[in-house]
Structure 1
Amino acid sequence: MGFFDALHLARLQFGFTVSFHIIFPAITIGLASFLAVLEGLWLWKKEHVYKDLYFFWSKIFAVNFAMGVVSGIVMAYQFGTNWSYFSTFAGSVTGPLLSYEVLTAFFLEAGFLGVQLFGWDRVSPRMHYFATLMVALGTLISATWILASNSWMQTPQGFEVVDGKVIPVDWFRIIFNPSFFYRLPHMVLAAYLSTALFVAATAAWHLLKGNGNGAVKKMLSMAMWMLLGAMPLQLLVGDAHGINTLEHQPAKLAAIEAHWQNRPGEAVPLVLFALPSNDDETNHFALEVPHLGSLILTHSFSGQIPALKDFPKEDRPNVPVVFWTFRVMVLLGMLMLALAFWGLWLRTKGRLYNHGGFLRFALLMGPSGLVALLAGWMTTEIGRQPWVVYGLMRTKDAVSNHAAAAMAGTLITIIVVYLLVFGTGVYYLLRLAAKGPQQASPVNPDPNHSPARPLSAAEEGLYDEETH
């Protein structure tokens, strides 16, 4: 098959839509919890700075939530249009799991979102805080069901295959499959880190522009505490996830490490840099640290892991892509850790809010959480190839019988529409962030006004008078 056949075009289309979609739920998860913390601190301390930040970030949350919902709908339809054989084979598992996400998480979010965004002066403070907590809980429940479905595709269990179709026999084992307990916290922490970096970058932008009010300083402080607490925890979860991958998806881990073969008694090195070649089955220009791969992966000085040559070529993922996406994720994680400890050091010196180099670094790192999240997702999904359900169904057997021309046409259309619609949405989000937190005022001060959509919570227009 050529690269521009229906299979690869369908994979590109799904990969493009998921890559766009995943960034919005990640920020939604993080901001929902951030808003819950802000309102809780406001109720506890009665300091207006927390109320200022709540109203500021609730506007950004509303726009981001709306874009996440819209981008997710397109992705869901592709299961039936582009991956019909997968839906026929595994729909009895993935279909109910996605339905549970709608029936629990989405309904919970939708039910309380209006109260959260527009009910500040309509309900009691405790009721409003309850609504904020329910929306935050809904985002976490949503992540739970989505990760349960995707994790089952990575490490399937609790089923039987009857007449070429998956039949669930144990929903507990399906949901709590072997990789679920590692992938869920890894994703949630990634969402929190992405949000913390976004918040920190927004604060750094305003501080560099000379807007150093109390709300801006407070959100930088809170973001740096989150980064300092979550990043080391993410490293521990990532290490545990790697050990789990070694047990259940050894070919993926071998590709991550670009480890081609084992020699008797030889430890696994850690490959820092290389140009892996699928055709030559070797690494060119490799820079390695002896024994360190064994120490990290097996927690022993000379342990070995399965090598790529232990698997048939047709059962291996694309090694260069998996190798490099993983290293992008790790490199950005190390930079996040450096930013967190630099911030801690500056805090002890009383210079957290006025060190130009640190603030510029924080601003530069603003999108790094989302880039790392996308790199990790690519590592996970491309590393699973050539399987769509690991060990059960190959990706080439899951795609619908569409002509390549039809797939190319829909792919181009989706790219153009997404760049136009969501490009505009991201531009609007950045405009909202650039305005900065103002003095606290209700999101919906007019008691006779009843907005019907989340975007109504963002009062600013896309263009202000100066742009006309």
Structure 2
Amino acid sequence: MIDALILSRIQFASNMTFHILFPTISIALGWVLFYFKVKFNKTGDSIWGQAYQFWVKIFALTFALGVVSGITMSFQFGTNWPGYMETVGNIAGPLLGYEVLSAFFLEATFLGIMLFGSKRVSQRAHTVATFLVAFGTSLSAFWIIALDSWMQTPQGFEMINGQAHATNWVEIVFNPSMPYRFFHMMTASFLTVTFLIAGISAYQYLKGINLVGNRVLIKMAMTVAVVLTPLQIVLGDLHGLNTLEYQPVKVAAMEGIWETTKGAPAVLFAIPDESLKANQYEIAIPKLASLYLTHSWDGEVKGLDAFPGATPPVSPVFFAFRIMVGIGMLMLFTAGVGFYLTRKSKAPPKWFLKTLNVMTFSGWLGVLAGWYVTEIGRQPYLVSGVLKTADAVTKVPTNMILGTLVMYVVLYLGLIASYIWVVFYLARQANSAQVINGQKSGLTNSTVGA
């Protein structure tokens, strides 16, 4: 039978997989809604008013699911990982508390005004409420990523009687990997929302809904994507170099490098075999990994052999990294083509609209792959060099963990399918007055609060 450690890891992974999908959207979508609101206030153009009306519904749905799944996930610190809070609770507890007090309360307080207050408060107050909700989502991301980054590259603490005690909160919050991880995640969120908006707008355009407005949104999305995708590649490279400095074993797993090598090759594809400690069916470019990791053709890259007994599962990290990079390259190509096409002609080609439709939730795949690299690559530690995962796991019977795991997975699969269905349902049920050209303007309570 599978032991409690593996089951608890799978359960937390399933919860995290489901939860992260929604903050990934709400973080950036809040700022996009603020942009729509400012544009509408400034120009009075109905396109921006309609865009706000529609996308604020998606935001409300996304925010709700993010809150519910976040609460469920936090319970597992006590039920599945009691050793975590016992060992590092003096640091994790305050950081999670800061997130609730400074970010979640801010979001929750002004969300009601944002959703239902357009007719009850002034346009300026409604715009400020939208800004504060957007700011709150980013502030929430800041605290959560600060905690996760500290778990990856811990500093600013001392161990006393087996417990971590803070000695410098600035060092804890702004630990070595935090800035790279924060900006990489924020850019990933904006790219996810950019392709979500492009995909849904393309879907509506193909349905003959609000052609003018959706054409504008597609053009806007491709303009943002063509800027952010290369930026994300640069940020990813910087993050990778930071990881090489502080977590070289993770980079070795990502690259599939088993032996410390000078002039290490870039492995494009392989099937890592942990029993042989080698790659099967390897396709590689000689010396390229050393070039982009050390900026020297003959630079030395530490392999997995340099970390005996402290290596993560190689295959999940190896393949997740390639999925993340593959999604990024696909986004870059699509953004470049889209940027060209949306300026070449007024009507986007049907094949391109269908491509955007297929890529509606592509950002989710990239984000999940990236997070799997980050979290699985940290194993066997829960807090790098401080607390091993096996030392923090619960002693609850495995049958109880298995039961809740099955329940979570079934529930989450149903919820995610329902979420995607509702998003496309709302897209199909767009205000009938918007069909073809959509000349309605203004923000009404009946649509914003629907």
Q: Same fold (TM over 0.5)?
A: yes
Deviations 1:220-260 (A, max 9, x none): 11111111111111011000000000000000000000001
- Provide closer, same or farther for how the CA distance between residues 425 and 363 of structure 1 changes in structure 2, counting only shifts above 3 A: closer
The yes-or-no answer on 1:370 pairing with 2:368 is: no
Alignment check: 8 A CA contact 1:216 1:436 kept: no
Q: Tell me, in whole angstroms, the C-alpha distance in 2 between the residues paired with 1:8 and 1:235.
A: 33
Q: How does 1:37-436 map to 2 (within 5 A)?
A: 37-211=35-209, 213-263=211-261, 266-312=262-308, 314-350=309-345, 353-436=347-430
Alignment check: 8 A CA contact 2:118 2:444 kept: yes
- Provide closer, same or farther for how the CA distance between residues 180 and 286 of structure 1 changes in structure 2, counting only shifts above 3 A: same
Q: Tell me, in whole angstroms, the C-alpha distance in 2 between the residues paired with 1:57 and 1:208.
A: 18
Partner amino acid, structure 1, of 2:109: G
Q: How does 1:13-52 map to 2 (within 5 A)?
A: 13-52=11-50
Alignment check: 8 A CA contact 1:117 1:443 kept: no
Deviation at 1:121, TM superposition (A): 1.1
Q: Tell me, in whole angstroms, the C-alpha distance in 2 between the residues paired with 1:66 and 1:374.
A: 20
Please say which of residues 202-211 and 57-66 is displaced more in the overlay: 202-211
Q: Tell me, in whole angstroms, the C-alpha distance in 1 between the residues paired with 2:251 and 2:242.
A: 10
Partner amino acid, structure 2, of 1:281: K
Partner amino acid, structure 2, of 1:338: F
Alignment check: 8 A CA contact 2:199 2:359 kept: yes
Deviation at 1:210, TM superposition (A): 3.1
Q: Tell me, in whole angstroms, the C-alpha distance in 1 between the residues paired with 2:289 and 2:53.
A: 48
Partner amino acid, structure 2, of 1:107: F
Deviation at 1:111, TM superposition (A): 1.1
Q: Tell me, in whole angstroms, the C-alpha distance in 2 between the residues paired with 1:128 and 1:326.
A: 41
- Provide closer, same or farther for how the CA distance between residues 48 and 315 of structure 1 changes in structure 2, counting only shifts above 3 A: same
- SS of the residue corresponding to residue 23 of structure 1 reads helix
Q: Tell me, in whole angstroms, the C-alpha distance in 2 between the residues paired with 1:110 and 1:366.
A: 27
- SS of the residue corresponding to residue 272 of structure 1 reads strand
Q: Tell me, in whole angstroms, the C-alpha distance in 1 between the residues paired with 2:111 and 2:131.
A: 10
- SS of the residue corresponding to residue 377 of structure 2 reads helix
- SS of the residue corresponding to residue 165 of structure 2 reads strand
Alignment check: 8 A CA contact 2:264 2:288 kept: yes
Alignment-derived partner of residue 464 in structure 1: none
Deviations 1:19-63 (A, max 9, x none): 000000111112101100001111111211101110110111111
Alignment-derived partner of residue 466 in structure 1: none
Deviations 1:411-455 (A, max 9, x none): 11112222334433332223113334643454424xxxxxxxxxx
Deviation at 1:213, TM superposition (A): 2.0
Deviations 1:92-112 (A, max 9, x none): 111110110000111111111
Alignment check: 8 A CA contact 2:226 2:335 kept: yes
Q: Tell me, in whole angstroms, the C-alpha distance in 1 between the residues paired with 2:160 and 2:428.
A: 56
- Provide closer, same or farther for how the CA distance between residues 285 and 458 of structure 1 changes in structure 2, counting only shifts above 3 A: farther
Q: Tell me, in whole angstroms, the C-alpha distance in 1 between the residues paired with 2:428 and 2:180.
A: 36
- Provide closer, same or farther for how the CA distance between residues 224 and 435 of structure 1 changes in structure 2, counting only shifts above 3 A: farther
Q: Tell me, in whole angstroms, the C-alpha distance in 1 between the residues paired with 2:332 and 2:352.
A: 13
- SS of the residue corresponding to residue 315 of structure 1 reads coil
Give the superposed CA RMSD: 1.5
- SS of the residue corresponding to residue 253 of structure 2 reads helix
Q: Tell me, in whole angstroms, the C-alpha distance in 2 between the residues paired with 1:87 and 1:374.
A: 25
Unmatched tracts of structure 1, length 5 or more: 446-455, 460-468
Partner amino acid, structure 2, of 1:333: G
- SS of the residue corresponding to residue 80 of structure 1 reads helix
- SS of the residue corresponding to residue 384 of structure 1 reads coil
Deviation at 1:262, TM superposition (A): 2.8
Deviations 1:1-27 (A, max 9, x none): x6x111000001000011000000111
Alignment-derived partner of residue 444 in structure 1: 445
Q: Tell me, in whole angstroms, the C-alpha distance in 2 between the residues paired with 1:30 and 1:222.
A: 15
Alignment check: 8 A CA contact 1:35 1:132 kept: yes
TM-score (norm 1): 0.92
Q: Tell me, in whole angstroms, the C-alpha distance in 2 between the residues paired with 1:165 and 1:253.
A: 29
Q: Tell me, in whole angstroms, the C-alpha distance in 1 between the residues paired with 2:210 and 2:403.
A: 49
Alignment check: 8 A CA contact 2:45 2:441 kept: no
Q: Tell me, in whole angstroms, the C-alpha distance in 1 between the residues paired with 2:149 and 2:7.
A: 24
Q: Tell me, in whole angstroms, the C-alpha distance in 2 between the residues paired with 1:216 and 1:37.
A: 16
Q: Tell me, in whole angstroms, the C-alpha distance in 1 between the residues paired with 2:206 and 2:302.
A: 50
Unmatched tracts of structure 2, length 5 or more: 435-439
Partner amino acid, structure 1, of 2:292: I
Deviation at 1:211, TM superposition (A): 3.1
Partner amino acid, structure 2, of 1:295: L
Deviations 1:261-307 (A, max 9, x none): 134xx401100000011110000110001121111111122111111
TM-score (norm 2): 0.96
Alignment check: 8 A CA contact 2:204 2:427 kept: no
